[in-house]
Structure 1
């Protein structure tokens, strides 16, 4: 009997073991998505909104300090390109999905054999410290990256906490094992990128220092504390002048070997070890925006141990907690990978920018302390106001309110008294156009996510809108438009300023500021001033009041637009689609115009060459890879043809988002592309942030449950969901038939159920 019972128990145990446990949400994340072509994402390790993004660099033009800009730097905005065959090293700061480069701080590379401190070339990796690698030996997961460095026979593993990068390098047996710290490397092409660097060997396991750069950010200082799990055998430094000439001596001291301090514009350090076969050397690299003492405190607080697996697990649990806010069931696993990877990319930026005690460097370059909020940086607002911040108002409202507090702190520290435009690491880059921080703030106010001083926020928005020496605002206020002969990209600026002014008006109205509302609702109609009724397009106007004569609505160059053409921007009046439809001759004509956007073919002459990056993300003349078109597919709801929104939004999701390295149809733009996918998968989209209204589309999920911070849940389900059933026959909200193609923010935050009934035929 005992034998039979034991056998039965063994059989049951074996059966249970053979049944795989259900996947965690974070296991659907594929950080490789977007690493090929122009997605500009990175595959390395980070936690949600983490200060450290620890990732491999496959190349950057910045290594060739004397080489002039040749366009290649655009490829390496995230430092990694999937098609490359070599890895240069692993650095600690990255942008995710941007169209501009910077960061790439504190590159570390493990090597064996003869010490080489130059990176070498991709064609001949043995000429430097870089190494060949294979994707077959590469693993990328949430908060974990692993790769074998073939030329050195070293296995590299990476994980992170909020402010600390944790490296684990498993070496072969060698008396010539090295860890290289390259303080010259970075993701920006500038001969004089480094302003100053400093390193100090505190003891045989601890290094501290800082680097100040003048890359895209004009003045950016990052401090570090670097701890080894094993004492250093020998160490040294090489110093280079501005002409890339090696300098070894400083006054009476030879700095090249075992001298504990070094300072200069361009430094490279090395640390020697003896290693046994399979021995792991671990490194903790903590960062701080304030001081080396701050970096060391961050390390001691966040990772006081040497348990690599614990740090990896802790970070993955943080991802699980965040992803759990949106639980989805999909038609197939590929869609689930797309969804959770999009949510992953949406939750990378903005990044936390302060030490554990709340200290950070402000825009005025002084040290400040975040009191009562978490300070954030990396605000790519021209991109993210459209869908990313509206997504945060649903699933990350506390963080979004803190981000707005960070923007208000930026305003207070600004000599201009202006909100951020595109800012990172205590710098304003003034990149792109508009003053779209006001959209983010107005959207939060419209949706009652006001964990900040709303009166102060309104005044900050007004200040930004009246910054007359910024990008044609003086002319915009005087003439009601930006004249092309005085300021380029004039139509785009006029349209975006008008939208932002509408946002200010909506905020003023909700806060009871009637005079402000009256002023800004009038300014918000300025889009009319650049619409040429004779041709039916937005068109650049000159300072004398006439339209620019030489004009091609399909051309993107020199026609008054940025990242788009007249076709794209003539559909950009998100604050008033009804008025836009009337400008275009009514619903029927406007619907034809929308149709042609998706069905036309752009001739080759409108591209610089057949491999031009602007070909990414294009369907007809609809440019999904550039944000001005992101709301356009939902405009069919305003012309009584929602079935076309439904069909085309599913077409865009299938064409532009795939679970593969080349699976993004353009730059992810710090999460905006991903946020568009998340909203569209759920079946609704914020066409005009600053309003509490969402336009309905065609969900791609079977079911999604949103767990909200107020303790309520909102469930979206799609009955009869399939790849063919892209059309919506009816929608029910909380059991009642919805007789419009819109829902409100309160419908979500009050909790409840939104049910789509799907079919294969359009309901006209």
Structure 2
């Protein structure tokens, strides 16, 4: 006999499935616009990839070395993804890219089709005809899920790109030409210094297949990408040029001319050309497989994933992979462009972390040895200072199995680490130690708090404790000694103190779950260290010195030399994610703190607080609220702790409208491997994880009219916003499965239990 609640759940599930099928006439992946975020600060790329794919095949519009940053007026920062929408030339198509980061690396194995006289230098943006690059127009450019197309005007070639998990698939439509070329540039990359290449090697196996590797020392200090490249048509001749000791270099005691039809090339900097004759509209196709392990691994990846030459079959298979992932959330919106924003946000959220292993599970570890992922998928590209806040909490809802594998990947990193530390910011078997905190512990605590525990929790706790006591890392020794990081000992001291305190709280929550009271007590005490840098006289977190005094020179609006990183005292003084009640009390109580929050959004920053060289530093700012940088992402939801949840609702809807729109400049800051996009997804659904590591979400104001979340546990949650409109941004009441919520929060268990969550929207706040 079914209970009433079981019947209600069955009806809701049937309704959700029916609505989902009815609304799926237009495929969800068709709403993806990869060009969103490619202009100014978004730092996304428009090329082809599959969900969490090892290959990101995308055009590069420029490659400026890091040392030329000042000369080029900060332009190197713009090319973190290799592409800027405002550029008018393309230098080629490379196979690895970061999505939305604030630092550059990758850009491996650049391929460029050309016609005419052979040129093996890239030329310049102002004069592309001096090299192999080409002018192009956005009118002849198409970017969608797992597909990119552009016409290269200077060569009259149409380029099309698609991918599988580990293989990039190129299709080039040539004009009639006796002098058609495919350039393979092993020098090009999304640089962070001039001497990036350590070594490159190419071996011509036959007239349709080459193999090799590229080893670099960029942001990742030692990174090797192995490759296998197959051509659909035999090349009639080929050649290599080394750029180590000059443009033409003959090795092997000058017994061979390595520049023409010699089957091996090795050196720091190599460019190769492969020459063809082509008929009018003839298509030359290329498959480029990569491996972290070997050229044999790359060949096997190619054989397994794309054993054929059907370009559109591969493209469509990738589209179906995106459709499967996007259909974890089906939405109905007020405006059609809101679907573009939402599904593109899901697309960007599901690019990183990327799978890092061959099809047989082999991968190179942090110790530079070859390992095999046993019972999990190995991932890389962990931008944890950004993504612990919303991206991984999102995965705990709709990608729990992948998130478990990501944690297992981090534990493998810990095993291979000579420091016995979890990742900070890691990619491609390297730790680059970028940003601050030891935020792997947040991912682990959040997964455990939400019951996503398919990993060794005891081992994870030990790894967290080890990471938190890495005394020679970024001021931790002083943090342990003084209870804060002194500014005269270690810069960005306040930011570090606050983030270490939050991470310590996360470790305490893990210890509590595992019934370790001594560990819990130790780390709960450490989690209160944020109080040691709060200055009552100013009402702000403030840098403190070794002698216990606060630094005298202090400007809470300045971001330079004030003890903070990527923020100011205003931003960071609101970043006590793990203790918002105490934060309210420190700031004089609910009324005074509410006024403080109001001021944050309302103030106007004078010009002197922006860097003089780049107007882009103004991106993502509303008053002194900086949505373009992660420490502020939870701030609008703090009104829920002051008794003014309606102000949170208003602010959230304002941010959604101001910081996201379906255009190349549609992101108000670096997407940071999906964090900005995850914020959009959560906030559009009506709730947000202010404190990862807890089971609680703060309620906001949904932007969707309706959404159905399909969970891996087999249940579904239907979210409905009744009376939804652009003006109705306030919530009069919220019901979960027919019962009104009497709090502006909801728990993970309540969400994952499924059923129906109803927001009643109104134009006037319920005060």
Question: Does 1:471 find its partner at 2:474?
Answer: yes
Q: Tell me what 2:249 maps to.
A: 247
Question: Does 1:500 find its partner at 2:503?
Answer: yes
Is the contact made by 1:649 and 1:698 (CA closer than 8 Å) also made in structure 2? yes
Measured at CA, do residues 316 and 348 of structure 1 come closer, stay the same or move farther in structure 2, by a change above 3 Å? same
**C-alpha distance in structure 1 between counterparts of 2:118 and 2:668, whole Å:** 41
Aligned residues: 745
Q: Tell me what 1:322 maps to.
A: 325
**C-alpha distance in structure 2 between counterparts of 1:53 and 1:140, whole Å:** 13
Give runs of aligned pairs for residues 325-340 of structure 1, distance below 5 A: 325-340=328-343
Question: Does 1:174 find its partner at 2:177?
Answer: yes
Give runs of aligned pairs for residues 530-679 of structure 1, distance below 5 A: 530-609=533-612, 611-679=614-682
Deviation at 1:249, TM superposition (A): 4.0
Q: Secondary structure at the match of 1:547?
A: coil
Q: Secondary structure at the match of 1:110?
A: strand
Measured at CA, do residues 673 and 63 of structure 1 come closer, stay the same or move farther in structure 2, by a change above 3 Å? closer
**C-alpha distance in structure 2 between counterparts of 1:283 and 1:652, whole Å:** 43
Question: Does 1:28 find its partner at 2:31?
Answer: yes
1:110-148 deviation per Cα after TM superposition (whole angstroms, max 9, x unaligned):
000000000000111100000000000000000000000
TM-score (norm: length of structure 2)? 0.96
**C-alpha distance in structure 2 between counterparts of 1:149 and 1:563, whole Å:** 39
Measured at CA, do residues 315 and 579 of structure 1 come closer, stay the same or move farther in structure 2, by a change above 3 Å? same
**C-alpha distance in structure 1 between counterparts of 2:723 and 2:67, whole Å:** 57
Is the contact made by 1:646 and 1:698 (CA closer than 8 Å) also made in structure 2? yes
Q: Tell me what 1:93 maps to.
A: 96
Q: Secondary structure at the match of 2:159?
A: strand
**C-alpha distance in structure 1 between counterparts of 2:164 and 2:374, whole Å:** 22
Is the contact made by 1:249 and 1:256 (CA closer than 8 Å) also made in structure 2? no
Measured at CA, do residues 310 and 387 of structure 1 come closer, stay the same or move farther in structure 2, by a change above 3 Å? same
**C-alpha distance in structure 2 between counterparts of 1:670 and 1:211, whole Å:** 24
Q: Tell me what 1:150 maps to.
A: 153
Question: Does 1:524 find its partner at 2:527?
Answer: yes
Q: Tell me what 2:209 maps to.
A: 206
Question: Does 1:436 find its partner at 2:439?
Answer: yes
Question: Does 1:104 find its partner at 2:103?
Answer: no
1:143-163 deviation per Cα after TM superposition (whole angstroms, max 9, x unaligned):
000000000000000000000
Unaligned 5+ runs, structure 1: 1-18
Q: Tell me what 2:267 maps to.
A: 264
Deviation at 1:612, TM superposition (A): 3.2
Q: Tell me what 1:4 maps to.
A: none
**C-alpha distance in structure 2 between counterparts of 1:451 and 1:325, whole Å:** 21
Deviation at 1:190, TM superposition (A): 1.6
1:574-626 deviation per Cα after TM superposition (whole angstroms, max 9, x unaligned):
10100011111100000000000000000001112274332110000000000
Is the contact made by 2:147 and 2:162 (CA closer than 8 Å) also made in structure 1? yes
Give runs of aligned pairs for residues 729-740 of structure 1, distance below 5 A: 729-740=732-743
Deviation at 1:68, TM superposition (A): 7.5
Give runs of aligned pairs for residues 348-497 of structure 1, distance below 5 A: 348-497=351-500
Deviation at 1:248, TM superposition (A): 4.0
**C-alpha distance in structure 1 between counterparts of 2:480 and 2:381, whole Å:** 29
Q: Secondary structure at the match of 1:491?
A: helix
Give runs of aligned pairs for residues 124-203 of structure 1, distance below 5 A: 124-203=127-206
Deviation at 1:246, TM superposition (A): 4.1
Question: Does 1:72 find its partner at 2:75?
Answer: yes
1:375-418 deviation per Cα after TM superposition (whole angstroms, max 9, x unaligned):
00000000000000000000000000000000000000000000
**C-alpha distance in structure 2 between counterparts of 1:271 and 1:761, whole Å:** 67
Is the contact made by 1:69 and 1:189 (CA closer than 8 Å) also made in structure 2? no
Task: Name the stretch that deviates more: 747-756 or 523-532.
Answer: 747-756
Q: Secondary structure at the match of 2:484?
A: coil
Unaligned 5+ runs, structure 2: 1-21
TM-score (norm: length of structure 1)? 0.96
Measured at CA, do residues 761 and 21 of structure 1 come closer, stay the same or move farther in structure 2, by a change above 3 Å? closer
Is the contact made by 1:39 and 1:667 (CA closer than 8 Å) also made in structure 2? yes
1:142-196 deviation per Cα after TM superposition (whole angstroms, max 9, x unaligned):
0000000000000000000000000000000001000000000000132210000
